[in-house]
Amino acid sequence: MFKALLIEKHDETPRVGITELAETQLPEGDVTVRVLYSTLNYKDALAITGRGPVVRQFPMVPGIDFAGVVEASSHPQYQPGDRVLLNGWGVGENHWGGLAEQARVKGEWLIPLPSALSEFQAMAVGTAGYTAMLCLMALERHGLTPQSGKVLVTGATGGVGSFAISLLARRGYSVIAVTGKQQEEEYLKRLGAESVMDRAELSAPGRPLGKERWAAAIDSVGSHTLANVCAGTSAEGAIAACGLAQGMDLPMTVAPFILRGVSLLGINSVTQPYERRVEAWRRLGEELDSDLLLAISREISLQDAVSISEDLLNGKVRGRVVVNLSR
């Protein structure tokens, strides 16, 4: 038997709670993992609170990330004792996820845990840090260098934003952090932000084109914010878009694209090719400031996940939430 956070549906009403499950109840897969750490992401919080249609089938164990040790495997790449991690692939949405002491998944969804990272560190990074690295890699493939100009990061105190600032700053980029939490300016500058902008400058409807203020951006907010980010991007600049904290809509014109040659790069962190996942995590292990992981993250138990989910959706959580499955 093992503990799990389980979402069930009774009379069309989802219910969530900690329960004991048998290993025989695990879904199909060719690798069984003893989960040591998971995380609480925005998507997980939507699933747990029922405030978003994340879960595709019930009952469901949420948790889109996990790191742990292989207990059993019929997949040729993995053996018992191997340290592994997983991000995405519909885990926690249509396949039982990482907010449990055990998980069974397809081996092709896993990658080896980089030797430079512990299981805790990997989950302090989680999908948020992984997504931030995918954004940086996409911008660099587009040609971005520190000499290109300033890089804007929206949702700066969130998980993706916090990691994006740190990763960019360590590579020599000049970073503008956008946040509605001006009391967090010291935190953002400790991560490496050169300046802090009030999100009110970007969150309301704006002009089709504005003054060219940054060469590139990483946006996890969407809606009017992303529209204004595009409008303020310099000619031939690029924006990596990876989130929708403000909304899924994009109320803007094509002016930035056809008059300035701005590129909008969509970032899908769920089903990246194996080689790109491995490269992103290799770089995370090498380029992240490990001391900052403690500043960016906090550790909770599985029992805390429900209450913290409400806080996360209400904007009361800074950085990353790591779930210790042994607490």
Which pLDDT does position 81 carry in this prediction? 98
Assess whether 62 and 140 both reside in one domain. Answer: no
Domain count across the chain:
2
Does residue 208 share a domain with residue 90? no
| 63/171 same-domain check | no
Tokens coding 233: 């991007």
What tens digit of pLDDT does each residue of 30-64 get? 999 999 999 998 889 999 998 888 998 999 999 99
Give domain status of residue 121, yes or no.
no
Q: Are residues 148 and 261 in the same domain?
A: yes
Domain CATH for 134: 3.40.50.720
Are 106 and 48 members of one domain? yes
pLDDT at position 9 is: 85
Q: How far is CA 233 from CA 143, 236, 243, 268, in A?
A: 15, 8, 18, 22
Q: What is the pLDDT of residue 175?
A: 98
Q: Of 84, 37, 136, 116, whose CA–CA distance to 282 is shortest?
A: 116
Q: What is the DSSP string of 90-136?
A: TBTTTB--SSBSEEEE-GGGEEEPPTT--HHHHHHHHHHHHHHHHHH
- The answer to whether 300 and 40 are in contact (CB under 8 A) is yes
pTM (predicted TM-score): 0.92
CA atoms 52, 57, 62, 64: torsion sign: negative
Residues 217 and 249 in one domain: yes
Residue stretches of the chain with pLDDT short of 50: none
Which structural domain, as residue segments, surrounds residue 66? 2-113+291-324
- The per-residue pLDDT for 320 is 85
Q: Are residues 249 and 136 in the same domain?
A: yes
Same domain, 254 and 296: no
Looking at the structure, tell me whether residues 101 and 164 fall in a common domain. no
What is the pLDDT, as a whole number, of residue 290?
A: 82
Q: Would 11 be classed as within a structural domain?
A: yes
Integer CA distances (angstroms), 37 to 68, 120, 121, 170, in order: 7, 6, 9, 26
Looking at residue 52, what is its pLDDT? 84
Beta strands in 40-97 (DSSP E): 65-73, 83-87
What does the alpha-carbon distance between residue 108 and residue 175 come to, in Å, rounded to a whole number? 36
